[in-house]
Amino acid sequence: MSFQDIGRKTPGLPSKMNGLVSSSSTTTAITKQTINDSTSANSTAGGTDSYAAVSQLILQYQQNVGILSNIVEKLGSEEDGPLLQKQFKVQLDVIHQLGNKIETKLQQQEQSLHSMSRTEASRNRATHIKLTRDYHWVQTKFKNLQLEARQIRSNIEARRRAELQDRERREFVEGIDEDNQRLQMQLQDDRVTEEIMREREEEVRKINQGMHQVNEIYKDLANIVSYQQDQVDEVETHMEKANKNAESGLKQIEKARAKQDQACIIS
């Protein structure tokens, strides 16, 4: 069962959320509706209804990440411009807001598990772990999209600077004689090479930092799963002890009944 299967009765997003919006006004309207829908879904507290609200928030979070993915694919293309940049920023804001709502709801549900009976807490804990894992999976995809967008922008800026430097170099070369021309070209090439090396080092550093963040997310998820598994094992141990005690009590009752029957026969 995935988070999409929890709380099927919760209203979904409009069908136009499946594709990239065509204007900034449409983007703003849709994203506002997304936040309002998620706030409405959060109004029910406790049990399956609250997990259904969290599930709906994660579904909305995933859909907005999908929209952001479509926008990132258009970066650097002919459609790239101020409108696309505005749509990109709007989606980032909406996804961050939804992420904060999801994390708050999950924390509230984690706290509410401690006030439930063991049976109810055990039943809800598996759902809690599954929703947490699904959220972190979509969150990782979102962070990878951010890294990809920064990489694209970095490449575009590098090409722009390279083209500018190339044009300035040609204009400079035309104004000097042949001997100085070769010397100036060599110096210019050296500067370009150094700039490229610095840019590559910065890009590698950013990529390594992003991978480190992703690795930390997976470690946190592993710790959560391990902690919850220990509690599940403890519940199972208590249930086994209770079952043995019940069987022992039943045997004692049967022995007492047998003695009572013998006493009745003797009398």
Interatomic CA distance for residues 173 and 13, integer angstroms: 59
Would you state the pLDDT for residue 177?
64
pLDDT of residue 141: 93
224 pLDDT exceeds 60?
yes
For the cut 90, the answer to whether the pLDDT of residue 256 exceeds it is: no
pLDDT at residue 133, rounded to an integer? 92
**pLDDT given at position 251:** 83
Alpha carbon distance 42, 37 (integer Å): 9
pLDDT tens figures, 144-194: 999 998 898 888 888 888 888 888 887 776 766 666 777 778 888 888 888
Judged on CB neighbours under 10 Å (0-12, 13-18, 19+), 110 is middle
Q: What is the pLDDT of residue 21?
A: 37
> Would the pTM of this model clear 0.85, i.e. be above it?
no
Quick: pLDDT tens for 33-57.
Answer: 444 444 443 333 445 677 888 999 9
Residue 12's pLDDT band (boundaries 50, 70, 90)? very low
